[in-house]
């Protein structure tokens, strides 16, 4: 585990690359294979309502919107 608040940011670079550049040894990366970068446009105009980023309120209509882990709209779980 690494506390990262002191690290300088490099958008577009992998976390382990940034850590190595700043003198930290990376021995193992856990969970990376399950991480998916979703299209940011799928979240445009939506206000997150939970830490999992699956429940939102549409800022224009005030309606609840539900997304799966890939950012696709789904019926209320």
pLDDT tens for each residue of 20-75 = 888 888 888 777 777 778 899 999 999 999 988 899 999 999 999 999 989 999 99
Q: How many domains does the chain have?
A: 2
Shared-domain flag, residues 42 and 74: yes
Shared-domain flag, residues 41 and 23: no
Shared-domain flag, residues 5 and 27: yes
Q: Which residues face 55 on adjacent strands? A: 66
Evaluate whether 68 touches 54 at the Cβ level (below 8 Å): yes
Is the pLDDT assigned to residue 2 strictly greater than 80?
no
Is the pLDDT assigned to residue 11 strictly greater than 90?
no
Q: What range defines the domain where residue 55 resides?
A: 37-77
Shared-domain flag, residues 31 and 41: no
Per-residue confidence band for 4, with pLDDT thresholds at 50, 70 and 90:
low
Per-residue confidence band for 17, with pLDDT thresholds at 50, 70 and 90:
confident
Shared-domain flag, residues 47 and 17: no
Evaluate whether 29 touches 17 at the Cβ level (below 8 Å): no
Q: What is the pLDDT of residue 74?
A: 97
Shared-domain flag, residues 41 and 76: yes
Could you give the dihedral angle defined by the CA atoms of residues 63, 68, 12 and 58, in that order, rounded to the nearest 10 degrees? Answer: 0
């Amino acid at each position: 585990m690494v506390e990262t608040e002191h690290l300088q940011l490099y958008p577009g670079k992998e976390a382990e690359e940034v850590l190595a550049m700043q003198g930290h040894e990376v021995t193992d990366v856990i969970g990376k294979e399950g991480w998916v970068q979703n299209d940011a446009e799928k979240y445009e105009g939506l206000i997150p309502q939970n830490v999992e980023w699956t429940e939102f309120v549409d800022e224009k209509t005030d309606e609840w919107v539900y997304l799966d882990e890939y950012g696709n709209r789904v019926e209320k779980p």
